[in-house]
Structure 1
Amino acid sequence: MKKQISLIVAILALLGTSYAQGQQEPMRLSLQESIKYALQNRASLQATRNEEKIAKAKVGEIRATGLPQVNAAVEVGNNFIQQKTLFDPSSFGAAQELDDFVITPEQIDSGEPIVLKPSYSEPQPTNEERQLQAISFVQPYTGNATVSASQLLFDGSYLIGLKAAKTYTELSRKNTIQSEIEVAEQVSKAYYGVLVNGARMELLTQNLVRLDTLLNQTKVMFDNGVAEKLDVDRLRVQLNNLKVERQKAERLMLLSESLLKFQMGLSQSQPVLLTDELAAVDIDLGQLNPQNFDYSNRIEYSLLETQQSLAELDFRNKKSGYLPKLSLNARYGYIGVGESLSDVLNVRAGSNNTTDRNWFDFGYFGAQLQVPIFDGFRKRYQLQQAKITLDNTKLGFETLRQSIDLDLKQASTELTNALDVLESQQENLELANEIARVAKIKFQEGVGTNLEVVTAETDLREAQTNYYAAMYDALIAKVNLEKATGTLLTK
C-alpha cells in the first residue's frame, strides 16, 4: 500500500513539473532586445570571441620571447662505454739523467773549494715508449646540475612581431564585429518573418470568422428557401480551404519562431512574445542611393585596412632578417664524477673540501652577436613574396569599393521596388476588401449571386497573401540596405 502511495505521489509530481514547464512564461522581446540577447548568447559568437581571446594571448606569447629566459636542468648518467683517446707518453719526455763528472787528485790536493757543475741529458725513448696508448679521461658515472639564462637585446623581427601581434588582435576584434553584424542581420530577418506571419495569422482568423458567419447566414437562407444548396456547398468548400490554409500558416508561424530562437541562441522550449508591431517599423528612405558614401562605415573595408597593415609588417619583418641579433647568455652549474652511481649521488662539493671533492662548479657569462651573411637568397625570395602580397592587398581596395557601390545600388533598388510593390498590393487589398463587402451585401439582399461572394473571398485571400509577401520583401530589403550602409548594428 505504501509503495502504491509513493508511486502516485511520484506521478503527481511528474505531472506537476510537466504542467509547470507547459505554463512557462513567454519571453517578451523587441527587435533590439532580440539582437542584444543573440549577441550575448549565440554560440557561434562566443566561439568567435574565444578566437579574439586567443589572439590576445598570442600577443603575450610573442612578448614573452623578449623577456629573460631561465632554465634549470639536472642529469645523472652512466658512461657504459667510456670515450677514449690516443696518448703518446713520449710527448711528455723521460726523466733526465745526471751526466758523469770527474774530480781529479790535483783538485783535491790544491786545498781550494771544488765547485761542481752537474749537467743532465735526456735519454732517447725506446720503441716501446714511442707507441701510442688509448686512455680515457671519463669517469664511469657523471652528473651535472645547471642553471642557464639568456636575454634578447636586439632582434628586428621581434620588434616588428610585437607590432604585428597587436595588429592581429585588432583584426580578430574586427572579425568579431563582422560576425555580430551577420548575427544582427539574421535575427532581424527572422524577427520580421515572425511579425509578418503573426499578422497574417490574425487576418486568416478574421477571415474564418467572417466566412463562418456568412456560411451560417446562407444556411438560414437555404432553410427559408431563399438560397440554394449549391450556395451552401460553395461556402463550405471555401471555409474548408481557409481552415487548411490557416493550419499551414500556424505551422509556418511555429517554424518562423523556431528560426528566430535558433538565430538568437535561445532554447526551443522557451516561448516568446514579440512586442514590436509592423505598423511601427520605420523605413529610412534617406538611406536610398547615398552620395559620397564613407567606405570605412563598412566593416569589410576596415578589415581590409587591417590586413594591409599586417602585410606591411610582414614585409618589414622579412627585411629585418638582414639585421644582426644580439643577446646575453649566462650559465652556472656543477659537474660531478664518480666510480659508481652512489658515489655521484654522494655530493661532496663544499668549499672547504679541497681533497675529496667529486662535484665541481663552473660559470659562464657572455654576449652573442649573430650576423647573417649568406642564406642562399632565401630572404630575398621571401621579400618578393611579401611585396606581391602587399600589392595584392592594395589592389583589393578598388575591388572592394566597387563591390560596396554595387551593394548600395542593389539594396537601394530592391527597397525602392519593394516599397512600390507594397503600395500597389496595399491598394489591391483595400479594393479586394471593398469588393468582398459589397458582394456579401448584394447576396444577402438577393441582388447578387453566391458565386460572386466566393470569387470575391478568393480574390481577397490572394490579395492578403500578396500584401504580406510584399511587406516581408520590403522589410528584408530594409535590412539589406542597412547592412550595405553599415548602419545595421552600431555600438
Structure 2
Amino acid sequence: MKRILFVVAILTGLTVSAQENEQLSLKEAINFALKNKAEAIKANLEVKNSELKISEVRASALPQINANGDLTYNPILQQSAIDFGGVTQIITMGQPWQSTASVSLNQQLFNLAVFTGLKAAKTTREFYQINADLTNEQVIEKVANSYYEVYKTKSQLKTTELNLANTSRVRDVIADLHRNGLAKKIDLDRTNVTLNNVKSTHLQLINSLQLQENALKYLIGMDINTTINLPESTFEITANAFSTDGDFTDNRTEIKLLEKQTELLELNKKATRAEGLPSLSLKASYGYLGIGEEFPWFQSYPGAYWSDYSAIGLNLNIPIFNGGVVRSKTKQAQIQIDMLEADKKDTQLALDLDFKNAVAQINNSLIAVNTQKENVTLAKEVLSNIENNYKNGLSSLTDLLDAETSYTDAQNNLTNALLSYKLAEIQLIKSKGELKSLN
C-alpha cells in the first residue's frame, strides 16, 4: 500500500508540475477571455436577447386571440317606462343573473408601423451582433496589451537575473583579490552596494510581475491562483501586420456599427411617419350569454337562458388631424440621422489617423529594435573586454561597473523597444480591422 501511495504521489506531482509549466500563448489567452470574460459573455447574451425582441415584435403582427368571461349579479334591476297606446307601463329590464363567455380575435391587416417595427427588430439583432464583435475586439486589444506587458517584465526579470549572477561573480572575484591583498576594500564595498541594488531591482520586478500576471488573469477571466507561463517566442517580430495597401476603414467594426445604427434610425423615421397613415384590422368574436333569475350554472339549468352570439368586422382607422405631431417627430428622426452621419464622418477621419499613426509607429519601432540589438551586441563586447582588462589590472572597477550597467541598460532598452513594436503591431492590426486574426 505504501508503494502504491508513493507511486500515486509521484504521478500527482508530475501532473501538477505539468500543469504549472503549461505555456499560455497569446491566442490561448484571447480565446479564454472571449469565453470567460464578463464583457464578452454579456455581449453574446445581448445577441440572444435580440432574438427574443424579434419574437416580441413579431407577436404584434400575429393574430391576437383572447378568452373572456364575465358574471354579474343585479340585486336591483333597472326599470323603464314604455308607452303602449297612451298607457304608460313600467317594465323591469334584464335578469338578476347574467353571465358571458366569449373568444375574440384581432388581426392586423395593414399597419405600417407594426411591419416596420418587425424590420427594425431584425436590424437590431444585426446591430447587437456587430456590437458583440466590437466588444470582442476591445477584449482582444486589452488582453494583448496586458500579455505583452507581462512578457516585458519577465524579460526584464531574466535580464536582471543574468546581471545578478554576473555581479555576484565579479564580487566573488574582487573578494578573492581582497583576501590576497590585490584589491582595495572600497572596491569590494562598492561591488556589494551594486549587488544589493541589483537584488532590490530583482525583487521589485518579481513583485511587479506578480501584479501584472494577476491583472492578465483578471482580464481573461482566469482564476487568480492559476500558474501561467509565456512562451519564449512571444516577442518575435512577425510580418502579418505589414500589409498597408488599400483602404481598411470599411473593415472597421466601428464603421459597421454606425452604418447599422443609421439603418435603425431610418426605420425609426419610417415607423414615425407611419403613425399618420391609415391602419386596417380584422376583428371577430364568438360567445355565449346566460341570464336568469337563478345562478346560470350551465345551459340546462332551470331558470337560466343561454344563447350564443358572434360578430365579424373590419376596423379602419384614418388619422385626419393630430396637430402636426407626426410631422414634428419625423423631422426629429431625420435630425438624429444627420447627427449620426456627422459622427460617422468624424469617426472615419479618426480611424484614418489611427492607421497612419500605426504605420509610422511600427516603422519607428522597427528602427529602434534594430538599433537596440546592435547596442546589446556592442555592450556585451565592451563588458567582456573591460572584465578581462580589470582582471589584468588595466581597467578600474568604475569602468567595470559602468560596463555592467551599460549592458543591462542595453538589454532593457531592447526589451522596451520590442514591447513598443508589439504594441504598435496591435494598433496596426486594429486599424486594419483584423484583430480577430489574433484569436
TM (norm. structure 1) is 0.81
Provide the C-alpha distance between the structure 2 equivalents of 1:172 and 1:20, rounded to a whole number of angstroms.
Answer: 46
Mapping for residues 98-247 of structure 1, pairs under 5 Å = 137-247=93-203
Q: Is 175-184 or 413-422 further displaced after alignment?
A: 413-422
Is the 1:221–1:227 Cα contact (8 Å) retained in structure 2? Answer: yes
Partner of 1:296: 250
Shift of 1:373: 1.3
Q: Is the 8 A contact 2:63 2:107 kept in 1?
A: yes
CA–CA distance in structure 1, aligned partners of residues 73 and 290 of structure 2: 12
User: Which residue in the other structure is 2:283 paired with?
Assistant: 329
Question: Which residues of structure 1 form unaligned runs of 5+?
Answer: 1-17, 95-124
Show the counterpart of 1:110.
Answer: none
Aligned to 1:25: 19
Q: Verify the 8 A CA contact 1:30 1:276 in the aligned structure 2.
A: no
Runs of 5+ consecutive residues of structure 2 not aligned to the other structure: 1-11
Conserved in 1, the CA contact under 8 Å of 2:67 and 2:101? yes
SS at match of 1:333: strand
Cross-structure match for 2:344: 397
Match of 1:59 in 2: 54
* Alignment check: 8 A CA contact 2:96 2:293 kept: yes
**In terms of mean alpha carbon deviation, does 140-149 or 152-161 score higher?**
140-149
> Once the two structures are superposed, what CA deviation does each residue of 1:11-68 show, in whole Å capped at 9, x if it has no partner?
xxxxxxx999986823432211221221122121111111111111111111111111
1:406 maps to which residue? 353
Q: Give the drift of 1:250.
A: 1.0
2: CA distance, partners of 1:143 / 1:63: 34
Instruction: Give the Cα–Cα distance (whole angstroms) in 2 for the partners of residues 197 and 268 of structure 1.
Output: 18
Letter in 2 for 1:334: Y
Distance (Å, rounded) in 2 between the aligned partners of 1:231 and 1:136: 125
- 1:38 and 2:33 correspond: yes
Answer with 155-164 or 172-181: which moved more. Answer: 155-164
Q: Which moved more, 1:357-366 or 1:162-171?
A: 357-366
- 2:428 is the counterpart of 1:481: yes
Q: CA deviation at 1:227?
A: 0.6
What is the CA–CA distance in structure 1 between the aligned matches of 2:413 and 2:40, rounded to whole Å? 36
CA 1:276/1:426 → structure 2, altered by over 3 Å: closer, same or farther? closer
Q: Tell whether 2:28 aligns with 1:72.
A: no
Native 8 Å contact 1:142 1:337 kept in 2: yes
1: CA distance, partners of 2:321 / 2:310 = 33
1:371 aligned to 298, 318, 325, which one? 318
AA in 2 matched with 1:88? A
| Greater mean alpha carbon deviation, residues 173-182 or residues 471-480 | 471-480
Other-structure match for 1:416: 363
1:83 Cα offset (Å): 6.6
Measured after TM superposition, the shift of residue 272 of structure 1 is 1.5
Q: Does the C-alpha gap of structure 1 residues 459 and 212 become closer, same or farther in structure 2, counting only changes over 3 Å?
A: same
Provide the rounded CA distance (Å) in 2 between the counterparts of 1:296 and 1:208: 51
Q: Judge which range, 459-468 or 254-263, deviates more.
A: 459-468
Residue 468 of structure 1 is matched in structure 2 by: 415
Go from structure 1 to structure 2 and tell me whether the alpha carbon gap of 1:49 and 1:285 turns closer, same or farther (over 3 Å shift): closer
Q: Deviations over 1:278-304 (max 9, x none)?
A: 4534155634xx454132110111111
SS at match of 2:321: coil
2:106 counterpart SS class: strand
Moved more, 220-229 or 387-396: 387-396
Match of 2:379 among 432, 446, 450: 432
The partner residue of 2:84 within 78, 92, 106 is 92
Distance 2:102 2:256 in 1: 51
Q: 1:50 aligns with which of 45, 51, 57?
A: 45
Aligned partner of residue 433 in structure 2, secondary structure: coil
Given that 2:293 and 2:304 are in contact with CA atoms closer than 8 Å, whether structure 1 keeps it comes out as no
1:417: how far off?
A: 2.7
Q: CA deviation digits over 1:59-118, x for unaligned, max 9?
A: 1111111111111122324445x4746x334x2225xxxxxxxxxxxxxxxxxxxxxxxx
Q: Which residue of 1 aligns with 2:8?
A: none
The alignment's TM-score, normalised by the length of structure 2, stands at: 0.90
CA 1:460–1:83 in structure 2 vs 1: closer, same or farther (change >3 Å)?
Answer: farther
Deviations along 1:391-423, one digit per CA (max 9) or x if unpaired, are 223333322221111111222222233333333
- Quote how far apart the aligned CAs of 1:460 are: 2.6
Q: Secondary structure at the match of 2:275?
A: helix
Q: Distance in 2 between matches of 1:207 and 1:151?
A: 82
Residues 443, 450 of structure 1: 8 Å contact kept: yes
Name the aligned partner's letter for residue 29 of structure 2: S
How far apart in 2 are the matches of 1:276 and 1:148?
72
The number of residue pairs the alignment matches comes to: 428
Summarize the Cα distance change of 1:424–1:370 in structure 2 as closer, same or farther, 3 Å threshold: same
Distance of aligned partners of 1:445 and 1:371 in 2 relative to their CA distance in 1, 3 Å threshold: same
Identity value in percent: 30
One-letter code of the match for 1:41?
N
The 1:389–1:37 alpha-carbon spacing in structure 2 relative to 1, beyond 3 Å, is same
Question: Do the aligned partners of 2:124 and 2:264 also contact (CA within 8 Å) in 1?
Answer: yes
For residue 358 of structure 1, give the secondary structure of its aligned residue in structure 2.
strand
Deviation track 1:422-451 (CA, whole Å, cap 9, x = no partner) reads 333333333322222222111111111112
Structure ID, larger Rg: 1
Deviation at residue 480 of structure 1 after TM alignment: 1.0
Structure 1 stretch 406-415 or stretch 416-425: which is displaced more?
416-425
Distance 2:433 2:426 in 1: 11
Question: Tell me, what secondary structure is at the counterpart of 2:103?
Answer: strand
Look up the SS of the partner of 1:60 in the other structure: helix
Structure 1 residues 280, 420: closer, same or farther in 2, change over 3 A? closer
SS in 1 for 2:61: coil
Aligned partners of 1:147 and 1:332 also within 8 Å: yes
Name the SS for the 1:366 alignment partner.
strand
Residue correspondence of structure 1 range 258-273 to structure 2 within 5 A: 258-273=214-229
Query: In the aligned structure 2, how far is the partner of 1:472 from the partner of 1:229?
Result: 41
